Chains A and B, each alone.
Chain A
Amino acid sequence: MDALTLATKPKSADIAIDNVALRYGKGDNAVLALDGISFHVVPNEFCVIVGPSGCGKSSLLYLIAGLEERTGGMISVGGKPVTEPGPDRGMVFQAYTLFPWLTVAQNVEYGPKRKSMPAAERRAIVEHFLHEVGLAKFANHYPSQLSGGMKQRVAIARALANDPQVLLMDEPFGALDSQTRHSMQKLLLRIWDHSKKTVLFVTHDIDEAILLADRVLVMSGRPGQIKKEIRVGFSRPRSMDLVMEPNFIAMKREILELLKNDEDEEH
């Protein structure tokens, strides 16, 4: 098996979340950020969590990544309980997290290098994924020379180059303008189609959620709970024009209503 087939070989796992809770602080000052969260993401699935800001959806992603410690329940990825962060769970963050001291190519190479992969193999992987996100020409640029959209494309390439079993995405396009956001969504769907990784994607943008997802989990806040699970049956590949279809609009309305109820309860 050569380097490229190794890198692109579909390898994805399921994510099992069982009765997960997250509590900040102690005693009377304790805040319950997440409560009784349970769901299961099957291998190769594109699952999107949508919810208002502050509902704990990002925290949930950090728990799965092992970057924060849950205070209750069980999380396992590929049957393995999550105890600490690891390269089996790739993550793309909302903030730009490219290493500014490394070039674009070196950023993508970072994960494979930690695994002590031979240089020739690493080069092939870097080339493949930079080509995949359309940034082959920018291999030797530093992150500070890139636009926001380009930075996130490199971040996706960097996460995938490490060949994780699941890809966690925390509002990765949140800081981008709407046009860039649309082209990023298309790009992500294409890459996902090639790699067939399990993706858990967090957003507050309902259009984005429906466009991308096989399944949308609607989350409410304080404490964060899964309110409803909606299967998105639209055929793939999906066009961005989908947003104007009556079925799409009906689904969007349903989610909006769910989130609106949540807001009313709060006031």
Chain B
Amino acid sequence: MTLAPNATSPISHIVTTSVDKNQPGRSAWKAVTTPFQAVSRPLSIALSVLVWGAVIGGWFALTYSGAVKEMFLPRPESVLFTTINMALDGSLWEHVLASVQVVLIGFVISSIVAVPLGLTMGTYRIVQAALDPLVNFIRYLPVTSFVPLFILWIGIGIEQRVAVIIFGIFFQQLVMIADSARSVQRDLVNAAYTLGTKRSDTVFHIVFPATLPNVLDVLRVTMGWAWTYLVVAELVAARSGLGYISLKAMRGFQVDVIFMAIAMIGILGLCTDQLFRGIRRLVAPWAN
């Protein structure tokens, strides 16, 4: 594919010419301190490994030096061994699966409603006028304060945890998706009209494809929030899941299990994040 010159090319051009002047030290410094200047792939990988190394190294240093008691901060390898043991006896997968299930059900139900409703809300002022005040009120209510109410209403089963996630992300999704629908260029819609698009087809033919990359970004971001609300729900009322084993581990002073649960959530979050980035590249290649 031949790409039209983009906005960054003039900058890279300047940097390349300064490299040619046999001033490698100065120009390399200039290159990395230039705002928005791209860095090479090896350098960016090296940097991320370095930061990770520093964090884990610091962890080793703190535990092995005895600066922090192992009761509060476990040694890195004991977290690793706990993870391996729990993976081998199957209990890890049971809890991971329980958590993933809750997050996915809550996320899917919320998204299935929020995407079309958000697009409609952003496109039709009358829908916006009707829903905006209510949605913006609910959006600021802390989800945690609803947990007791949900337990009272729907008990402590999986439905309760799913409800917490839906309540946590639905209104945020709605507002952000409506915003991106509202920002669709008007002349794009006008052009569609002059090409024979019916008014009733505008959401499907224009607003939806135009906002698709944004919608996927909203889903990606709110998926991260779903994991946060999962732990909130599981800490209060659950018999399985990563939040539940953290709470149980706290009672037994098993700090390594808490660490493992936190790390697992991080890894799962990273996976779903990458998944959404992959989907975006696949279904909206034009937006990259």
> Which of A's residues lie within 8 Å of B, judged by CB?
62, 65-67, 85-87, 89-91, 93, 95, 97, 99-102, 110-111, 114-115, 141-147, 155, 158-159, 162, 164, 168
Known: A91-B190, A142-B286, A146-B4. A99 touches B196 (CB 8 A): no
Which residues of B have CB within 8 Å of A147?
A: 4
B187 at the interface (CB under 8 A from A): yes
Interface SS, A side = loop
Q: Are A162 and B210 in contact (CB under 8 A)?
A: no
Q: Are B185 and A162 in contact (CB under 8 A)?
A: no
Interface SS, B side = helix
Which residues of B have CB within 8 Å of A159?
A: 194-195
B212 at the interface (CB under 8 A from A): yes
CA distance A146 to B193 in the complex (A): 23
Which residues of A have CB within 8 Å of B196?
A: 86-87, 111, 114-115, 162
B209 at the interface (CB under 8 A from A): yes
Q: Are A97 and B188 in contact (CB under 8 A)?
A: yes
Which residues of A have CB within 8 Å of B45?
A: none
Known: A101-B212, A101-B284, A144-B286. A65 touches B190 (CB 8 A): yes
Q: How many chain B residues touch A (Cβ–Cβ < 8 Å)?
A: 23
A-B contact count (CB 8 A): 79
Q: Are B2 and A97 in contact (CB under 8 A)?
A: no
Q: Are B210 and A95 in contact (CB under 8 A)?
A: no
> Which of B's residues lie within 8 Å of A, judged by CB?
1-4, 185, 187-188, 190-197, 206, 209-210, 212, 284-287
Which residues of A have CB within 8 Å of B195?
A: 87, 90, 110-111, 114, 158-159, 162
Smallest CB separation, B191 vs chain A (Å): 4
Q: Which of B1, B194, B206, B287 is close to A65, meaning CB atoms less than 8 Å apart?
A: B194
CA distance A142 to B1 in the complex (A): 10
Which residues of B have CB within 8 Å of A100?
A: 210, 286-287
Q: Are B188 and A99 in contact (CB under 8 A)?
A: yes
Which residues of B have CB within 8 Å of A66?
A: 193
Q: Are A145 and B194 in contact (CB under 8 A)?
A: no
Q: Are B190 and A67 in contact (CB under 8 A)?
A: yes
Q: Are A93 and B287 in contact (CB under 8 A)?
A: no
Minimum CB distance partner of A89 in chain B: B194
Top-7 shortest CB links A-B: A87-B196, A85-B193, A97-B191, A114-B196, A111-B195, A91-B194, A142-B286
